């Protein structure tokens, strides 16, 4: 489908769809606007955030400390210990004690950011659509009849609706990138091990990462050095990229159109973009095996708990059928498969480009077990292009790249080499300097967005 080499002289495609009103990035606000934003965030959590079903707890507190993130309002997924509430893990009955505040939250606090809410999630963070039968689903701010994506559903919806500047989620097989695609926001899934996981509910420990959402890559670039305790500073743009053609071949036409337009823009920002015909299928299959086996072992005590959603109980039980030897074999294959991806797919490139999801954001009924319209293949497809990234332990950035035929957001995914978060964010900033998809006000809640920084 693609030429073997893209021309860097091609002009970017200018596209404009969706609600014309835009949010301003947190980075662009002055001190007074940031102070006002905290007041707005608390009111928005109590109002719009609650109506979207995205807020578990609105957090009390002041305006934070002085620091590089002073005035930044953030939310945390309800599986991260705040030290102030009992994390619910998306369940009707909380599953753990209060616990000490997680390191990732303490780092944000120390930089002056303010926790304003605990965000809703799917039960045990083990569902990609956002379905939660015990606590209710979060509404997609673009279209209430469409899925919001999971499992970090509330975190994505709150950022998309302008209720907070940044939100933390988790990503075991795509749980920040999938809702970022569905909600039209920017999300970073870091390199495995880059962020501490103390105080965070485990799902599949060999795959688990903390991920983060923001309106823009520029805002994520301000937060990342604080969260990762790594030096800030500029990063060079990638010099070479590969497009995973098989992923595009397997995607809906509307997804392909948006990603092709995004690639046309990315071509102008890197020296060379080439095609690669394959897809890391073996890594994806091992990712599924590890996720199922480790999730079952992490939450075996809940399989027979009548308070656990029946479909989830069956999913967990399925993982127990994967014995320790098979799990060990899948884990042992990770290093050679990662080397194969870095040397055989990326070769001398810095990043791989593919869609976040192969399908347009589905209607809720299509991916809800028990509904007459339920399509299990469509549910499976939601994480088809994200799972292998967790297995290989690589960083990935999801960027809003356009809209599908129904006017819903589409995300493109940039997968980097280990430790390349700053480089991915630099490319994301450059891409978003040429597009405005990341700032759009979602149409289903546009009438409720009245803040001065949404013009």
Name the catalytic one among 152, 155, 170, 175: 175
Per the annotation, the verdict on 4 as an active-site residue is no
77 is a catalytic site residue: yes
Given 95, 129, 151, 216, the catalytic residue: 151
> Who's near 306: CB < 8 A, 6+ residues apart?
none
Backbone angles phi, psi at 242, to 5 degrees: -120, 140
428 touches 414 (CB < 8 A) = yes
Q: Are 401 and 410 in contact (CB under 8 A)?
A: yes
| Distance linking the first and last C-alpha atoms of the chain | 39
Q: How far apart are CA 77 and CA 158, in angstroms?
A: 11
Query: Which distant-in-sequence residues (6+ apart) come within 8 Å of 377 by Cβ?
Result: none
Q: Is 151 a catalytic residue?
A: yes
The long-range contacts involving 95-104, CB below 8 angstroms and separated by at least 24 positions, are 95/201, 95/302, 96/201, 99/199, 100/198, 100/199, 101/199, 102/76, 102/196, 102/198, 102/199, 102/200, 103/196, 103/198, 103/199, 104/80, 104/168, 104/195, 104/196, 104/199, 104/200, 104/210, 104/227
Residue 387: which residues within 8 A CB-CB, separation 6 or more?
A: 173, 174, 284, 287, 288, 291
For residue 224, give every residue at least 6 positions away whose Cβ sits within 8 Å of its Cβ, in sequence order, or none. 188, 212, 230, 421, 422, 425
Question: Among candidates 273, 34, 199, 222, which has minimal Cα distance to 111?
Answer: 222
Quote the CA–CA distance of 402 and 13 in Å, as a whole number: 11
Name the DSSP class of 349.
-
For residue 62, the tally of other CB atoms under 10 A from its CB is: 7
Give residue 229's region: left, alpha or beta (phi > 0; psi -120 to 50): left
Q: How far apart are CA 126 and CA 308, in angstroms?
A: 12
d(CA 433, CA 217): 10
Helix (H) or strand (E) holding 74: strand 73-77
Give catalytic residue positions: 77, 151, 175
């Amino acid at each position: 489908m693609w030429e073997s080499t893209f021309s860097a002289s091609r002009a970017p495609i200018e596209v404009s769809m969706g609600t014309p009103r835009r949010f301003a990035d947190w980075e662009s606000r002055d001190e007074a606007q940031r102070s006002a934003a905290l007041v707005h965030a608390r009111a928005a959590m109590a109002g719009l955030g609650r109506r979207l079903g995205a807020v578990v707890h609105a957090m009390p507190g002041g305006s934070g400390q002085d620091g590089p993130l002073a005035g930044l309002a953030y939310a945390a997924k309800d599986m991260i210990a705040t030290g102030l509430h009992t994390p619910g893990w998306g369940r009707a009955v909380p599953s753990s004690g209060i616990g000490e505040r997680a390191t990732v939250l303490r780092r944000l606090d120390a930089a002056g950011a303010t926790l304003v809410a605990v965000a809703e999630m799917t039960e045990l963070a083990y569902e990609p659509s956002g379905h939660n039968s015990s606590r209710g689903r979060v509404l997609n701010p673009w279209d209430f009849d469409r899925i919001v994506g999971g499992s970090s559903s509330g975190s994505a919806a709150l950022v998309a609706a302008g209720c907070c500047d940044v939100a933390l989620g988790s990503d075991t097989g795509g749980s920040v990138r999938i809702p970022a695609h569905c909600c039209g926001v920017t999300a970073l899934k870091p390199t495995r091990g880059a962020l501490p996981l103390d105080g965070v509910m485990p799902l599949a420990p060999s795959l688990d990462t903390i991920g983060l959402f923001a309106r823009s890559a520029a805002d994520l670039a301000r937060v990342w050095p604080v969260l990762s305790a790594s030096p800030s500073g500029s990063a060079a743009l990638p010099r070479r990229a590969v497009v995973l053609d098989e992923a595009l071949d397997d995607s809906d036409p509307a997804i392909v159109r948006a990603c092709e337009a995004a690639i046309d823009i990315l071509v102008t920002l890197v020296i060379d973009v080439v095609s690669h015909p394959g897809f890391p299928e073996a890594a994806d299959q091992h990712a599924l095996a590890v996720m199922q086996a480790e999730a079952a072992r992490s939450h075996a005590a809940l399989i027979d708990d009548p308070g656990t959603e029946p479909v989830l109980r069956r999913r967990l039980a399925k993982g127990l059928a994967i014995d320790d030897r098979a799990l060990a074999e899948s884990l042992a294959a990770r290093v050679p498969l990662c080397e194969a991806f870095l040397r055989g797919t990326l070769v001398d490139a810095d990043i791989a480009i593919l869609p976040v999801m192969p399908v347009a954001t589905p209607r809720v009924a299509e991916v809800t077990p028990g509904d007459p319209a339920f399509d299990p293949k469509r549910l499976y497809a939601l994480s088809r292009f994200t799972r292998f990234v967790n297995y290989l332990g690589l960083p990935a950035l999801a960027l809003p790249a356009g809209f599908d035929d129904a006017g819903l957001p589409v995300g493109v995914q940039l997968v980097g080499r280990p430790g390349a978060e700053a480089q991915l964010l630099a490319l994301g900033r450059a891409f978003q300097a040429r597009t405005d998809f990341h700032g759009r006000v979602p149409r289903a809640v546009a009438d409720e967005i009245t803040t001065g920084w949404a013009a």
